[in-house]
Amino acid sequence: MLKKIIIVTVIGLLCALSALNAGGTKEQTTQAQTVYTFGGSTTVAPIANAAIAAFTASKSDVKISYEGLGSSTGLKQLSQGTITLAGSSRELKDSELQSLLKPIVIALDGLSVAVNSSVAIANLSREQLAGIFSGEITNWKEVGGKDASIEVIVRDETSGTYASFKEIVLDPYKKSYKTQSIVARENGELAAKIASTPNAIGYIGMAFNHIVSEAGGHVLTIDGVEPTSQNVIDGSYPISRSLYIVSKGELSESVELDFVNFLLSAKGQSIVAENEFIPVTR
């Protein structure tokens, strides 16, 4: 596939009627605009899109878009050269690091576990979560709730959130995701499905807690710890992760390097906080 860095030339012809009538010459102005496409994690997307808007506000010669492809797809396209920066909400695999992909931490995030309003549970342990999401625990009464089948909602397999939850919750207990679950493509959709599906449970980025809460659902404590920014920072909340912007190789002087530096600047980190994620430079 062609690299999505293209030069778009816009040619405008400005003609003065008086000059034409007098046999004068036409004036031609040319403006060049470089178009960049970044993409990847949908969790990173709110940060990336807000940062792009601020970064390009004074750069009329640069246009940048961010495609919510999912972390794995974004990293694959970065490796192939289709895009030049990728967002990831999971740790990179050894094979990805060996292909010279370079992760740069831009924010911290906690994964919240939320349930539908019909579920009268306030806390679960990581071991109970592993049992639920692996399909070994199938009824709420097994974890102190009512007699009702548990509806499990997960992200799709290309999602960094899907991979992060597996690494943090399932892998320590040598478990895998159950084969029959409701699947959502992004955090907002998953939060909405938790809120609308009786007896449902799912996981979302902390920034999306309000979608569940506004619909009457609630966010659980895990091992008795609330998913708050401070608890992620001090390491007490057990389901947390870093969010990344990833380059292929070390960045030299370029728009990509300028954008990464902007994300790590005071202004960029304020955008991280405004989008309810946790800044890495304080």
What type of residue sits at position 40?
G
Residue that the structure tokens 């397999």 belong to:
157
pLDDT beyond 50 at 14? no
Residues in the chain: 282
**Total Cβ atoms within 10 A of residue 249:** 9
pLDDT of residue 158: 87
Domain 5-108+242-274: which topology?
Answer: D-Maltodextrin-Binding Protein; domain 2 (3.40.190)
Per the CB < 8 A criterion, the answer to whether 104 and 259 are in contact is no
Encode pLDDT of 156-205 as tens digits. Answer: 998 888 999 999 999 999 999 999 999 998 888 999 999 999 999 999 88
Residues 16 and 76: their CA atoms lie apart, in Å, by 51
24 or 274, greater pLDDT = 274
Structure tokens at 14: 């400005």
3-state secondary structure the chain: CCCCEEEEEEEEEECCHHHHHCCCCCEEEEEEEEEEEEEECCCCHHHHHHHHHHHCCCCCCEEEEEEECCHHHHHHHHHHCCCCCEEECCCCCHHHHHCCEEEEEEEEEEEEEEECCCCCCCEECHHHHHHHHHCCCCEHHHHCCCCCECEEEEECCCCHHHHHHHHHHHHHHCCCCCCCCEEECCHHHHHHHHHHCCCEEEEEEHHHHHHHHHCCCEECEECCECCCHHHHHCCCCCCEEEEEEEEECCCCCCHHHHHHHHHHCHHHHHHHHHCCCECCCC
pLDDT beyond 80 at 17? no
pLDDT of residue 208: 85
Per the CB < 8 A criterion, the answer to whether 165 and 239 are in contact is yes
Task: Out of 3.20.20.150, 3.10.129.10, 3.40.190.10, 3.40.720.10, select the CATH number for domain 110-240.
Answer: 3.40.190.10
pLDDT band at 104 (very low <50, low <70, confident <90, very high): very high
pLDDT of residue 10: 35
Query: Rounded to two decimals, what is the model's pTM?
Result: 0.74
Structural domain boundaries in the chain: 5-108+242-274, 110-240
pLDDT beyond 60 at 130? yes
Mean pLDDT of the region 224-243: 93
Encode pLDDT of 73-100 as tens digits. Answer: 999 999 999 999 999 999 999 999 999 9
List the beta bridge partners of residue 205.
Answer: 111
Q: How many angstroms separate the Cα of 213 from the Cα of each of 45, 127, 145, 206, 239?
A: 22, 25, 20, 12, 19
- 159: nearest Cα among 129, 193, 183, 127: 183
Encode pLDDT of 196-232 as tens digits. Answer: 999 999 998 888 888 888 878 899 999 999 999 999 9
Mean pLDDT of the region 229-240: 93
Mean pLDDT of the region 262-281: 93
pLDDT of residue 71: 94
Domains 5-108+242-274 and 110-240 share a fold: yes
Q: What's the farthest any 2 CA atoms get from each other in the chain?
A: 90
Residues 207 and 56: their CA atoms lie apart, in Å, by 25
pLDDT band at 31 (very low <50, low <70, confident <90, very high): low
55 or 19, greater pLDDT = 55
State CA 188 to chain mean position distance.
11
pLDDT band at 276 (very low <50, low <70, confident <90, very high): confident
